Amino acid sequence: MRKIFFVLCFVSMFCFFSTIAFSQPIVLKAVTAFPKNHLNNDTVQMFVDKVNERCKGKLEIRWLGGPEVIAAFDQPNALKKGTIDMILYYPFGYLKQLMPEAEAKGLSELAEWEERKSGAFQLWEEIFANRINAKYIGRFHNLIPFMLYVNKKITKVEDFKGMKIRVMPLYVPFIKALGASPILIPPTDIHTAMERKVVDGFVWPRTGMISWGLQEVTKYMILPGFFQMEPATMINMDKWKQIPKDVQKIISDVMQDMEYVATMRQMMIMEKEDNVRRKAKMEFIELPSEEAQKLLKIIHDETWKFVIQSAPEYGPKLQKATTKKAVPKGAFPWQE
């Protein structure tokens, strides 16, 4: 009887501790390229909350913070090695060292939901897996343009010659083609660089610049905009494979929902930021049509040329898959 008693106790304890272990959620330690309170992170917490709620204790995303946790440019390597499990928000352009194709994302003519239909999304999944050991989940923001912000009055493309422009890798080819000097510095240093005239301008999306207080040290915003915002959300591939299929689907489904929500919210933020810029006495300079077309052609042609030279395997495929023609007719109700 004593043996039976001990066996029963052992089995009960095993079942108890197994139940506890099983009930523990899979935890994803996550970071963002920008600080938590930055406007570009507007919908990140919403995404985290929705995923955690729908996973019902099976998985928990823990947003640890931004560059104060791991420096922005170090985050992709940390993800690749598994030091962190997830990057919630990271500009494609910052991935250049690990992913030569990265610049292609901002050049896309398509929103993320269109890229899922054109085949571009599947290409990005393959590239992230090969280059960063990561599962590409999607991007929050779509169709929000980048802008040139400067402290010199620009009326024609020639006026950019000799200027010093803060960049990330995405902008280097076209900035050089404009005859300006690209200066690579972290976002946190742009304000000081503009204030001290280390740079004459910078490139940033039409949302988020006021989070750094840059309207205080900037005189002009040049129109038209170009490219589009391209934040990546990704999970370490080894960690992704540990996540049950039903939970993987929840993460993917929430991401697809948030692509629409985040884009709409950013468009509203864009209008509010324009008002802040006007109150700060910034001037919006709209280039004449001929000069605007010249600027856009340089930006488009020089960046694609660089992408294809840097990434001959994927560059041409991405160029083909990210044009409006790549979306099958009838893929969406609003298509003609």
Cβ-contact 214, 190 below 8 angstroms: yes
% of the chain surpassing 70 pLDDT: 91
Residue-wise pLDDT tens digits, 226-245: 999 999 999 999 999 999 99
- The pLDDT of residue 170 is 78
- The pLDDT of residue 21 is 43
Question: Quick check: 15 pLDDT over 80?
Answer: no
Angle at the Cα of 291 from the Cα atoms of 288 and 293, rounded to 5 degrees: 105
Give backbone dihedrals phi and psi of 218, rounded to 5 degrees, phi first.
-125, 135
Give backbone dihedrals phi and psi of 169, rounded to 5 degrees, phi first.
-50, -30
- The pLDDT of residue 3 is 54
Provide DSSP, 245-309: HHHHHHHHHHHHHHHHHHHHHHHHHHHHHHHHHHHTT-EEEEPPHHHHHHHHHHHHHHHHHHHHH
Question: Quick check: 18 pLDDT over 90?
Answer: no
Q: 222 - beta bridge partners?
A: 148, 285
Per-residue confidence band for 333, with pLDDT thresholds at 50, 70 and 90: low
**Arithmetic mean of pLDDT, 300-329:** 94
Spatial CA neighbour of 143 closest among 71, 225, 220: 225
Output the average pLDDT for the chain: 91
Every domain of the chain and the residues it spans: 25-143+229-268, 146-227+280-326
For 229, the 3-state DSSP assignment is coil
Question: Quick check: 188 pLDDT over 90?
Answer: no
- The pLDDT of residue 19 is 42
DSSP 219: -
Question: Spelled out in words, what is the top-level CATH class assigned to the domain 146-227+280-326?
Answer: alpha beta
Query: How far, in Å, CA of 281 to CA of 195, rounded?
Result: 16
Query: How far, in Å, CA of 271 to CA of 223, rounded?
Result: 15
Query: How far, in Å, CA of 208 to CA of 81, rounded?
Result: 30
> Which of 241 and 21 is assigned the larger pLDDT?
241
Please check whether the two domains, 25-143+229-268 and 146-227+280-326, share a CATH topology. yes
**Arithmetic mean of pLDDT, 66-85:** 96
Q: 136 - beta bridge partners?
A: 234
**Arithmetic mean of pLDDT, 319-335:** 80
Question: Quick check: 257 pLDDT over 60?
Answer: yes
- The pLDDT of residue 14 is 47
The superfamily CATH assigns to domain 25-143+229-268 is Bacterial extracellular solute-binding protein, family 7 (3.40.190.170)
- The pLDDT of residue 166 is 96
- The pLDDT of residue 117 is 96
Residue-wise pLDDT tens digits, 279-296: 999 999 999 999 999 999
Per-residue confidence band for 94, with pLDDT thresholds at 50, 70 and 90: confident
For helices 44-55 and 245-279, the axis angle rounded to 10 degrees is 160
- The pLDDT of residue 336 is 53
- The pLDDT of residue 332 is 62
- The pLDDT of residue 20 is 40
Helix (H) or strand (E) holding 181: strand 181-184
Residue-wise pLDDT tens digits, 146-156: 999 999 999 99
Provide DSSP, 92-142: GGGGTTT-TTTTHHHH-SS-HHHHHHHTHHHHHHHHHHHHHSEEEEE-S--
Residue-wise pLDDT tens digits, 81-91: 999 999 999 99
